[in-house]
Amino acid sequence: MGSHSLSDRGPFRHIGIMGKPRNPEAAETINVLQDLLLEKGFRVSLETGVGEGLVREPAKLANWRAIGEECDLIIVIGGDGSMIYAGRQLADFDVPMLGINRGYLGFLTDVQPTQTREKVTEILAGDYLEEERFLLHAGVSKEDQTLHESDAFNDIVLYPGEISRMIEFEVFIDGAFVYSQRGDGLIISTPTGSTAYSLSAGGPILSPGLDAISLVPLCPHTLSSRPIVVAADRKIEIVFADTNQYDAQLSCDGQVRLPVQPGESIRIFRKDHSLRLLHPKDYDYFRLLRTKLGWGSKL
């Protein structure tokens, strides 16, 4: 994570706004933000579907791809889910993103709505912190032919296609056999996703700066199975055993679902493009953890 100023990055000129559609509270913040940006003379694009009915001249509507191609800063208004969706869609465009929290937890959207004018003004002036977060790419294949694929910002989860069904699979890392397992599945998480489903399943919290991913078993049918943390450049393969009687599902960020059939393989590796996140200058990751997870303060 580093500090940046206008002297080494130059001013933003075209701002894209994305967020949670049809949410009254998010709409209120979108209007506040839009007014601020237009007052300051920025070009503004609102994502189609989010900005319909809210767009104010001379702002315009644009789809997410146009926003990625044309804007040099994207502000997401919503919860972590909105930020994850936008990050997965826009990572290839190398455009920095900032989140304003209109959701529940707000691990990624760390500007509070009441601070919108103050914090956004500071960031537009170049007073911010920037960090990179990597994504994962997953592909479901059979006989080396890719059948389905998607990126994931938070996590990739293999789970049964039907409730209360145990599945069996084998895990390989860089081609080396790790283990075979029966249970409810497996979570492969980035540091960003380590405070999400992975944490609920007993996985470790990975600091965002770590170049690592975790493999967290879901209700394994053995007491000796434990989470594993490996370097992010390792290639993971999960073979969904052909002895399974039912299909499974592969969830990417809980937003994209890919079918997995017995005998198919799942290959997971770090995506080439990372996501650039901007934070206010007073951002503190461990203060965020204390606040969101209810940890004790200093005595």
- The pairing of strands 185-189 and 212-218 is antiparallel
Q: Which amino acid type is present at position 17? A: I
Query: Nearest 10 degrees: CA dihedral of 64, 69, 73, 78?
Result: 10
Domain identity same for 12 and 122: yes
* H helices present in 13-101, as ranges: 24-39, 64-70, 80-90
Query: What's residue 269's pLDDT?
Result: 98
Domain identity same for 246 and 166: yes
The verdict on residue 259 lying in a domain is yes
CATH number at residue 188: 2.60.200.30
Domain identity same for 21 and 33: yes
Domain identity same for 194 and 204: yes
Query: What's residue 255's pLDDT?
Result: 96
Look at the alpha carbons of 160, 165, 166, 170 in this order and tell me if their dihedral is positive or negative: negative
Domain identity same for 128 and 58: yes
Over its length of 299 residues, how does the chain's per-residue pLDDT go in tens digits?
654 433 334 469 999 999 877 778 888 999 999 999 999 999 999 999 888 889 999 999 999 999 999 999 999 999 999 999 999 999 999 999 999 998 777 789 989 999 999 999 999 999 999 999 999 999 999 998 999 999 999 999 999 988 878 999 999 999 999 999 999 999 999 999 999 999 999 999 999 999 999 999 999 998 899 999 999 999 999 999 999 999 999 999 999 999 999 999 999 999 999 999 999 999 999 999 998 888 887 76
Distances (CA, A) of 281 to 97, 223, 290: 15, 44, 18
* CA gap 91, 133 in Å, rounded: 10
80 is an active site residue: yes
Residues in the chain: 299
The verdict on residue 298 lying in a domain is no
Q: Which amino acid type is present at position 66? A: A
The verdict on residue 206 lying in a domain is yes
Q: Which of 35, 80, 127, 253 is catalytic?
A: 80
Instruction: Give the DSSP H or E segment for 9.
Output: helix 6-9
Domain identity same for 50 and 170: no
Q: What is the DSSP letter of 236?
A: E
Query: What's residue 8's pLDDT?
Result: 38
Strand stretches in the chain, DSSP E:
2-4, 14-19, 43-47, 60-62, 73-78, 97-101, 128-133, 136-142, 145-152, 155-160, 167-173, 176-183, 185-189, 212-218, 228-231, 236-240, 248-252, 256-260, 265-270, 275-280
* CA gap 178, 224 in Å, rounded: 14
Residue 276: burial class (beta carbons within 10 Å; 0-12, 13-18, 19+): buried
Domain identity same for 14 and 123: yes
Instruction: Write out the residue range of the structural domain in which residue 231 sits.
Output: 136-270
* CA gap 59, 5 in Å, rounded: 26
Q: What is the DSSP letter of 91?
A: G
The verdict on residue 299 lying in a domain is no
- The pairing of strands 14-19 and 43-47 is parallel
Domain identity same for 185 and 125: no
Query: What's residue 299's pLDDT?
Result: 65
CATH number at residue 106: 3.40.50.10330
Domain identity same for 191 and 118: no
Domain identity same for 169 and 91: no
The count of structural domains within the chain is 2
Domain identity same for 43 and 149: no
Local structure of 95: helix, strand or coil: coil
Domain identity same for 266 and 281: no
Query: What's residue 188's pLDDT?
Result: 98
* CA gap 249, 247 in Å, rounded: 7
